[in-house]
Amino acid sequence: MASIQILWHLSIQFFMLVAKINGAKIPAIIVFGDSSVDAGNNNYIPTIARSNFEPYGRDFNGGHPTGRFSNGRIATDFISEAFGLKRAIPAYLDPAYSISDFSTGVTFASAGTGYDNATSNVLSVIPLWKELEYYKDYQRKLRAYLGDRKANDVISQALYMISVGTNDFLENYYTVPGRSSQYTIKEYEKFLVGIAGNFTKELYDLGARKISLGGLPPMGCMPLERTGNLMGGSECVDSYNNLAVEFNSKLNDLVIKQNKEFHGMEMVFSDPYGIVLEIIRKPAVYGFEVTGVACCATGMFEMGYACSRSNPFTCSEADKYVFWDSFHPSEKTNGIVAKYLVKTALAKFL
């Protein structure tokens, strides 16, 4: 654990030095998406998709549940630090923060949401179009705070990160009747990619230029999916992993296409699939001991309220586990994935 933390600290120092040499091109990180990047927006809406209670956050600033679906920080927090910005990106709906905090980083993400509006309806969370409305409101506040000229500089130079899509498949298409009767899986992928393209175009029209479109992880390896794979010996669900690879390829094609279409757009595809799968397949290389179940509770199916402080099965050392709950990575995994993305897809923005 200590060695991993030391390596991360050294990496952060290196990335910050690079940022200084290059003139710190990124003044803010602005985030959209689902629970992978939600820092607590769902705390302020009527939904059961929450994590603002222990043991969530037990390793965040000495033990503070914020609404992040992890024992500590999430990937975008580590990425923000690597770019020389704040250590943790605040949630837009959190009244403890103001535009002075949000001017260098903010997340509009909502756990449980997806590209598809029908996905956000499953758990009554914030749909992606509403996240964009919050961003428009943010722009107005930013201009009032910084003045038009400085605000426009932030808007055009900020890094926009999008991480969403897993819920569209696992919480919607394969779980709730509706979309699966309307679309074949390939048609549904095309439908979602269309929404993604419209979303990034809207961001571009609002002034965004540096965009990171995130891909899906190997979702068949989430403990929740492995628990249900009894016939497969509780191994990763290959069909879900293959779907993630296929969908990621289509998102990457979208990135290539829009970079050609929109003048000045610098969009990258941030793909977590390979690094997460490598961690799962070679855990010891990264200092992990457990991959098949999560730290919280039995680690087989619990997340959210089922992952409660009173559960006696919750592990004592989350850093030994790839997953914190049955759907979400541990802080340590988030840090490794963030470091990988900063060194690869996001390196051009340093």
Query: Tokens standing for 27?
Result: 């003044």
The residue type of 166 is T
Question: Whole-angstrom Cα distance, residue 53 to residue 50?
Answer: 8
Q: Which residues are marked as active site?
A: 35, 325, 328
* Nearest residue to 44 via CA among 80, 96, 87, 89: 96
Question: Whole-angstrom Cα distance, residue 190 to residue 250?
Answer: 8
Per-residue pLDDT tens digits for 314-335: 999 999 999 999 999 999 999 9
- DSSP code of residue 46: S
- Local confidence band at 291 (pLDDT 50, 70, 90 cut-offs): very high
Per-residue pLDDT tens digits for 235-249: 999 999 999 999 999
Res 10: pLDDT:
56
Residue by residue, DSSP assigns 107-170 as E---TT--SSHHHHHHTT---HHHHHHHHHHHHHHHHHHH-HHHHHHHHHHSEEEEE--HHIII
SS3 track for 55-101: CCCCCCCCCCCCCCCCCCCCHHHHHHHHCCCCCCCCECCCCCCCHHH
- Local confidence band at 123 (pLDDT 50, 70, 90 cut-offs): very high
Res 315: pLDDT:
95
Query: Tokens standing for 154?
Result: 């932030």
Residue 4 confidence (pLDDT) above 90 = no
Question: Whole-angstrom Cα distance, residue 328 to residue 321?
Answer: 11
Mean pLDDT, rounded, for 135-154? 98
Place of tokens 């990124």: 26
Res 245: pLDDT:
98
Res 21: pLDDT:
44
Place of tokens 């120092």: 13
Contact between 301 and 268 under an 8 Å Cβ cutoff? The reply is no
State whether the Cα torsion 64-66-72-78 is positive or negative. negative
Res 176: pLDDT:
95
Could you give the angle at which helices 75-82 and 331-343 cross, rounded to 10 degrees?
A: 50
Query: Tokens standing for 341?
Result: 């993305």
Torsion of CA 186, 166, 211, 52, to 10 degrees: 160
The helix or strand, by DSSP H or E, that contains position 29, with its residue range, turns out to be strand 29-33
Question: Whole-angstrom Cα distance, residue 87 to residue 70?
Answer: 15
Place of tokens 């340093």: 350
User: What is the percent of the chain where pLDDT is above 70?
Assistant: 93
Is the pLDDT higher at 342 or at 19?
A: 342
The residue type of 341 is L
Mean pLDDT, rounded, for 212-232? 96
CA 203 to chain centre: 18
Mean pLDDT, rounded, for 225-235? 93
Res 25: pLDDT:
87
- Local confidence band at 11 (pLDDT 50, 70, 90 cut-offs): low
* Nearest residue to 127 via CA among 42, 197, 191, 65: 42
Question: Whole-angstrom Cα distance, residue 197 to residue 203?
Answer: 10
Per-residue pLDDT tens digits for 245-282: 999 999 999 999 999 999 999 999 999 999 999 999 99
The mean predicted confidence, pLDDT, of the chain is: 94
- Local confidence band at 117 (pLDDT 50, 70, 90 cut-offs): very high
- Local confidence band at 62 (pLDDT 50, 70, 90 cut-offs): confident
